Each structure stands twice: as C-alpha cells, then as structure tokens.
Amino acid sequence: MPCAKESESWSGESESPVSPAERMHDEQCVQYTHEMPYDLQESIGRFVIRIVPLLYGGMFGTLMHAIPVALTVGAVVSAGMDLAMGNRSILRNLGRSLFTSGCPLLASMARGVSGSLNAIGIRAPASLRDIRCRFS
C-alpha cells in the first residue's frame, strides 16, 4: 500500500474520506522535504563548481586526444572559479599558508640577490631590496 494515495494531497489532507484501516501511520511513510540545509546546499555547490571544469576538461581531452592539455585548462578554470569564492576558497587558504611560511625565505633571498648585484656593480631595484612580508 503506497504512503500517499491518489486521493490525498501532498499536505496529507484527504480529499475523500479514507477508512482508518486503510490509513497508514506517519512513521511508516518516508517524510520527504524538498529543502536541504543551507550549509549542505553551499558545500554541494562549491564541490560542483570545483569538479565540473575538470570533468569537462577530461571529456574534451578524450575526444581531442589531448588529455594533459585539456585537464590543465580544466584545472586552471577550476582554480579561477575556486579563487572567486572569496573566504571559502581552498586555494586562497592554501596560498595564504604557503605565503606565511615561504615569504621570509623569499625576502631574504631577494635581499641577497640585491646585495650580490650591488657587489658586482649592477644597481639592484629598490623593490628587490625592500621586500617585506606583511601578514594580514
């Protein structure tokens, strides 16, 4: 016996009388809602935005027999879409953590290159000498 009869509306109200013997209990029927929680909707949307360009790149690459090129283009599009997500971006958070750990090393290397260039008589740009790591 189905849970929602043809004579019943979706709200559960009966348009025609149904005998109590035919009526099923609510716990015997699955209660469907057509709404997902907002967090679930958002996470599914972010997943789709990140994965679809890669899938299309793989399919296009298979058709054109250039899978590495197509996957690279798909990855670039996916990365661009991920970076456009603002605070929810995976790549932005990853880049921020790499920047905070790698910037002091790059700044000291830039100062060393600047000093080496000045030592051999080539004027180094001021921007190379004055690299500072600003963390926000």
What is the CA angle 41-52-62, rounded to 5? 160
Model-level pTM?
0.48
Which tens digit of pLDDT belongs to each residue from 33-47? 677 788 888 888 888
Give 8's strand partners: 14
Which tens digit of pLDDT belongs to each residue from 53-107? 888 888 888 888 888 888 888 888 888 888 888 888 888 888 888 888 888 888 8
Residue 7: pLDDT band by 50, 70, 90 thresholds?
A: very low
pLDDT score, position 4:
53
pLDDT score, position 136:
53
Q: Which of 91, 69, 96, 95 is nearest to 80 (CA)?
A: 91
Q: Are 91 and 79 in contact (CB under 8 A)?
A: yes
Q: Are 89 and 115 in contact (CB under 8 A)?
A: no
Highest mean pLDDT among 23-27, 49-53, 128-132: 49-53
Return the higher-pLDDT residue of 62 and 4.
62
Q: Tell me how far apart the alpha carbons of residues 106 and 46 are, in angstroms, rounded to a whole number.
A: 33
Res 27 pLDDT > 60 = no
